Chain A
Amino acid sequence: MEAVLLFMRMSRNAARRTARARRGVGPTGSRTAEAGLRRLLVLSGELCPAAGMAGRGKLIAVIGDEDTVTGFLLGGIGELNKNRHPNFLVVEKDTTINEIEDTFRQFLNRDDIGIILINQYIAEMVRHALDAHQQSIPAVLEIPSKEHPYDAAKDSILRRARGMFTAEDLR
């Protein structure tokens, strides 16, 4: 809260200095305005940690066919560098079920992944691993694919929700 108040005070001061600099008031008007803007940008980086290098949030992983993975990587979720494993898997015709399951389990064990997006037809191949996952993080989201439309009856979350209500409970 204090940081937010400081940010508001600094932005107000920076706006005043900028206005003075525009009017040409004082020899140091433009320099103080620039310095104020730089301090403001540093502080805004601290308030919005995702915009800076420090305090990055969790990632979104994707396991899907070529178009699904390409699309979500276009959206900006991809991470790949020398030290870290990728947070995506393109499932092709020759991808084995063991590879899919291993990748899925790796994503579950990573603590920097918040959501796993997976095509529903691929989720069917590793349904036992999905059903065994009961934690809230990472959340597993089943999405349709081009050849296989979304079927709510197969979704793990909705099947668990359907099992909530029995005839006795509703009496």
Chain B
Amino acid sequence: MAALDLRAELDSLLLQLLGDLEELEGKRAVLNARVEEGWLSLAKARYAMGTKSVGPLQYASHMEPQVCLQASEAQEGLQKFKVVRSGVHAPEDVGPREGALRRRKGPTKTPVPQSSDAPRDPLNWFGILVPHSLRQAQASFRDGLQLAADIASLQNRIDWGRSQLQGLQEKLKQLEPGAA
């Protein structure tokens, strides 16, 4: 009976693994397509701005990540990743700060905007007015990052499933040495 239960568990684990592998293949194809779109857009931006205008020479000397990963452990040894975008701006206060009646005593002192803690958009490294193709490239690679996190989670699940499968196969061999 224990062997039967083990076999049933092995079968369900195997089916889950095959499903994960199929999902992984699908996501990989989408990631590769996004990255290729990104390269094409970068090439168009380079054509518009100049060969040396889009490359490592434009990287900022100080960078802060806008995208972070949150890793959570679903089961023992099974890590799951989630992409989190940082740099949420506080909403601007629109409208007059004082009451309805303004006292005209010379130029009013406008409040100095506080330096934002949000990281700077990497698009600004390449200039103020960047071509649309560079924005498209950024969008493609951002989509790619989300997919990368999903693929990494799937890879971890496949590795975890593989180790579980090997453990169950060992147990089955001990229970049924003749069948091995």
Contact = CB atoms under 8 A, between A and B. Distances in A.
Please indicate whether A and B come from the same complex rather than being unrelated chains: yes
A96 interface: no
Interface of B: 17, 21, 25, 28, 31-32, 35-36, 38-39, 42-43, 54-56, 59-71, 77-79, 81, 84-88, 90-91, 93, 117, 119, 121-123, 134, 137-138, 140-142, 144-145, 148-149, 151-152, 155-156, 158-160, 162, 165-166, 169, 180
Nearest to A170: B14
Contacts of B148: 60, 115, 117, 141, 143
Contacts of B38: 71
Given A66-B56, A72-B141, A51 B69 contact: no
A67 B32 contact: no
Contact of A90 (B54, B56, B77, B91): B56
Interface of A: 34, 37, 41, 44-45, 48, 50-53, 56-60, 66-81, 86-87, 90, 114-115, 117, 136-137, 139, 141, 143-144, 146, 149-150, 152, 157-158, 160-161, 164, 168-169
Contacts of B138: 74-75
A158 B24 CA distance: 10
A76 B142 contact: yes
Contact of B88 (A51, A58, A59): A51
B39 A67 contact: yes
| A interface secondary structure, majority | mixed
Given A51-B88, A76-B142, A160 B68 contact: no
A37 B71 CA distance: 30
A66 B55 CA distance: 7
B42 A70 contact: yes
B155 A150 contact: no
Contact of B141 (A74, A81, A139, A169): A74
A143 B34 CA distance: 11
B81 A71 contact: no
B165 A76 contact: no
Most buried by A among B39, B63, B123, B158: B63
B28 A160 contact: no
Contacts of A78: 59-60, 63, 65, 122
A121 to B, nearest CB: 14
A160 B159 contact: yes
